[in-house]
């Protein structure tokens, strides 16, 4: 496959790849992505269902997993090169992996959630989240330039825009939407001039969600979603953006993840 060919990429916080392997099959059949970036695989690499994923059409795999929590992966129909695991927070906690596929650097990233108290002095988890975001910004600025074709996708655990949460005012002191988190995520975005691909297709003032809490008995009726999952591209890939979709129906698949899969379509290089 040439580097200028169309490419469909997917990002999904699957919340346990072994538990939801049938849903991965459903995703492959329903959407047919060429590349799938997973977060929260919750599976050490030796136990990853590699043969099952290969049988689904994804023989090329990059894995960084651990027992019980975290874990990221890239599954591809096409060969993966330059596979790298990135440990930004001085912990080997399996949150970021990248590989090159069809001439594009693809990153699967899982930012820490940050706990419940939005005060880094009182909450070490929140302090770690902010430090991790700072480290990611610095690390990415060294990895890529705006002219490099790259995609950064995953569960960033930050909803940056007022339209990325169900109630902007009520959420300002709730972790994922606090001003300090938004500022830290903006620095990550500025690190390489990353383009928020979703907002190239969905106006910034329009509500957009990718995550709905398990706590709501009827998540659709409650409709208290947040856009925690993101897909960014370097300016070099902006001309190739051809489609973006939140597979909202994926939130209903049983047993559900609390995140919906995202799809990004890249057209052939106009050059």
CA–CA dist 231, 249 (Å, integer): 19
Residues 6+ apart with CB under 8 A from 46: none
CA–CA dist 269, 262 (Å, integer): 22
- Answer whether 0.85 is exceeded by the pTM: yes
How many Cβ atoms are within 10 Å of 61's Cβ, its own excluded?
18
With beta carbons less than 8 A apart as the criterion, state whether 225 and 269 touch.
no
| 89-113 residues labelled b (16+ CB within 10 A) or e (exposed) | beeebbbbbbbbbbebbbbbbbbbe
Sign of torsion, CA 9 12 200 134? negative
CA angle 197, 199, 201 (to 5 degrees): 85
Listed residue (236, 11, 193, 246) closest to 104, CA to CA: 236
With beta carbons less than 8 A apart as the criterion, state whether 8 and 102 touch.
no
7-266, CATH topology level:
Deoxyribonuclease I; Chain A (3.60.10)
Supply the pLDDT for residue 4: 65
Provide the edge-to-edge strand list for the sheet that holds 7-13: 60-64, 72-76, 35-39, 7-13, 262-266, 241-246
Provide the edge-to-edge strand list for the sheet that holds 150-155: 81-85, 96-101, 104-110, 150-155, 229-233, 195-196
In the chain, where are the structural domains located? 7-266
Locus of tokens 């990550």: 188
Can you give the pLDDT of all 271 residues of the chain as single tens digits? 444 689 999 999 999 999 999 999 999 999 999 999 999 999 999 999 999 999 999 999 999 999 999 999 999 999 999 999 999 877 889 999 999 999 999 999 999 999 999 999 999 999 999 999 999 999 999 999 999 999 999 999 999 999 999 999 999 999 999 999 999 999 999 999 999 999 999 999 999 999 999 999 899 999 999 999 999 999 999 999 999 999 999 999 999 999 999 999 999 976 5
CA–CA dist 219, 214 (Å, integer): 8
Which phi and psi angles does 25 have, rounded to 5°?
A: -60, -40
Listed residue (166, 160, 153) closest to 213, CA to CA: 166
CA–CA dist 23, 169 (Å, integer): 35
């Amino acid at each position: 496959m040439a580097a200028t060919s169309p490419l469909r990429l997917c990002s999904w916080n699957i919340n346990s790849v072994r538990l939801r392997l049938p849903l991965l099959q459903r995703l492959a059949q329903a959407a047919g992505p060429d590349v799938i970036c997973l977060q929260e695989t919750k599976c050490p690499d030796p136990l990853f269902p590699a043969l099952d994923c290969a049988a689904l059409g994804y023989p090329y795999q990059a894995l960084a997993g651990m027992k019980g929590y975290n874990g990221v992966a890239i599954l591809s129909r096409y060969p993966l090169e330059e596979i790298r695991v990135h440990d930004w927070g001085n912990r080997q906690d399996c949150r970021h992996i990248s590989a090159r596929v069809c001439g594009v650097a693809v990153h699967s990233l899982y930012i820490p959630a940050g706990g419940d108290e939005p005060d880094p002095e009182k909450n070490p988890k929140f302090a770690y989240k902010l430090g991790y975001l700072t480290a990611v910004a610095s690390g990415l600025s060294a990895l890529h330039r705006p002219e490099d074709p790259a995609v950064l996708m995953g569960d960033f655990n930050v909803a940056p825009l007022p339209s990325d949460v169900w109630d902007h005012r009520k959420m300002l002191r709730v972790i994922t939407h606090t001003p300090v988190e938004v500022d830290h995520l903006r620095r990550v975005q500025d690190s390489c001039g990353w383009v928020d691909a979703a907002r190239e297709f969905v106006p910034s003032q329009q509500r957009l969600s990718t995550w709905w809490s398990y706590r709501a008995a009827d998540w659709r009726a409650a409709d208290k979603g947040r856009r925690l999952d993101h897909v960014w591209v370097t300016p070099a890939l902006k001309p190739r953006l051809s489609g973006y979709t939140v597979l909202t129906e994926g939130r209903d698949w049983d047993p559900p993840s609390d995140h919906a899969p995202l799809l990004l379509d890249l057209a052939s290089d106009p050059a």
